[in-house]
Homo-oligomer: A and B are copies of this chain.
Amino acid sequence: QFVEKSSCAQPLGELTSLDTQGEFGRGGSSSPSSSSLCTEPLIPTTPIIPSEEMAKITCNLETKELWDKFHELGTEMIITKSGRRMFPTIRVSFSGVDPEAKYIVLMDIVPVDNKRYRYAYHRSSWLVAGKADPPLPARLYVHPDSPFTGEQLLKQMVSFEKVKLTNNELDQHGHIILNSMHKYQPRVHIIKKKDHTASLLNLKSEEFRTFIFPETVFTAVTAYQNQLITKLKIDSNPFAKGFRDSSRLTDIERKG
């Protein structure tokens, strides 16, 4: 089940062969120049087999049902200059962690392929529109409650509701920067802290594992393309309640 793949703002390649809950280990980068694109090199260049202890960890996508509904239609995520939350939210639970250990949980989002897309309204489908735009600075979203104790991770869910997506390449807020009209795959990483001095930039003394959930693939957009996606967002996101049919009443209906 251990699969080597490219990483760190490099395309993931095809994901169709993966199970519902796939996992990516640390794979060697194929391009010699790729390291210069990575301002925050999460992934070392030498492949590493996870330790027995880390191999026991499993990660479960709590919001799978909702993600599945979106995935069927082709999930889209709005990106804005000031940053936009993801909906659905990525919410995961872990098992197999050591209650006494400390862990850092983080997320990043990597391109699925080297393509740029456009939406054909008359066909209601996505088409390849050419090669991908130049890669953007890769950013990690370290979950703000990190570090977690293993005990916490076994009890609570980890929710990435606060992560924001932006198309502003000069963003100063630490939001994740994406290219519009490109396909992306969110990833969840867990790192076991071995000593308190180790940082994310210095992973030699750490162990980590990476989890991907193919049903969370999405296309970044600045405005929704597929109207069915818009409708599903409105019907399932509490903040969009004002656009639901049932609240779209005339004055007469309101009084009745």
Contact = CB atoms under 8 A, between A and B. Distances in A.
Interface in A147-196: 193, 195-196
Interface of A: 102, 193, 195-196
Nearest to A194: B196
Contacts of A102: 196
A196 B195 CA distance: 8
A251 B196 CA distance: 61
Nearest to A193: B196
A94 B102 CA distance: 28
Contacts of A196: 102, 193, 195-196
Nearest to A195: B196
A41 to B, nearest CB: 21
Nearest to A145: B144
A193 B195 CA distance: 13
Contacts of A193: 196
4 contacts: A102-B196, A193-B196, A195-B196, A196-B196
Pairs of residues from A and B, 4 with the lowest C-beta to C-beta distance, nearest first? A196-B196, A102-B196, A195-B196, A193-B196
A151 to B, nearest CB: 12
A102 B197 CA distance: 10
Most B CB contacts (10 A, CB to CB) among A193, A195, A196 go to A196
A146 to B, nearest CB: 11
A196 B102 CA distance: 10
A196 B192 CA distance: 13
A28 B196 CA distance: 32
A102 B195 CA distance: 13
A1 to B, nearest CB: 32
Nearest to A196: B196
A203 to B, nearest CB: 17
A229 to B, nearest CB: 35
A3 to B, nearest CB: 33
A17 to B, nearest CB: 40
Contacts of A195: 196
Nearest to A100: B197
A102 B193 CA distance: 15
A215 to B, nearest CB: 32
A69 B193 CA distance: 47
